[in-house]
Chains A and B, each alone.
Chain A
Amino acid sequence: MSNVTCAFIIQRPPYKSETSTLGFTHAISWQVVEMLLDEGQNVVPTVCFVGEGVLNLYTNQKAMENYGVTSIESHGKNSLLVDLDMLVCKEDLERFGIPEDRLLDAEDMGADKKLQIVPYAEIQKAMESCKHLLFF
């Protein structure tokens, strides 16, 4: 039985609205969805960051300290911790002048996964090959 592939495309900037946060939380919830599938069938989610969506990925966010809300960085780290593939558009990082060392990782939490900085063509492939495509 074939797996169910989902691509979550995060294109909105962080905070202000909940859009990008919902992208993370929907992607993380794939484990729950799996219970509803047929025996042997799996969900394979991929989270992609394009355009202003890459602005969600700065490390050292102080949302809890300043506003008492869970930072988007925490959602990103939890996503890596549950082994989500997270693709970041290389061209958009360059467009905004964001160096790789300013991006979050979850090494301190013991995650094996890391953000994958890829050309937009790779993200396009993920969008074409998935069964379900969701924009946030």
Chain B
Amino acid sequence: MNLGVFINDYKSTVETVDRLKADKLGFIFVQNGVFHTTLKEHGKSSPLLDKTTNLYVLAEDIATRGLTEADVDKRVKVVTYSDVVDLIFNDYEKLAWL
């Protein structure tokens, strides 16, 4: 299955993520989840960014919080709402919220 996971909080969800099995796993960081893509807590990136190469962050939510694309980890693609709709309809047959 192709599984898209929305991450909307800045908290550790690594244990849950480790249990998810999918042919294609994608993380879409929204709301306060965007901090996973911009902060380096104690100098280290969020461990979530190591779990898959399909990483997306919502542009509107980084801007709302005073952040810019330059703050986003290079492994993460910055997307708009319209892009998220495309991901939902074209790339991921199942979706989850963490």
Contacts and interface: CB of A to CB of B under 8 A. Distances in A.
A and B co-occur in one complex = yes
Interface of A: 13-16, 52, 55, 58-63, 65-67, 71, 73, 95-97, 102, 104
Interface residues of B, number: 19
A67 B31 CA distance: 12
Interface of B: 8-10, 31-32, 35, 39-43, 60-61, 63-68
A59 B10 contact: no
A12 B69 CA distance: 23
Contact of B32 (A14, A61, A63, A104): A14
A102 B65 CA distance: 11
A58 B40 contact: no
B31 A65 contact: no
B66 A15 contact: no
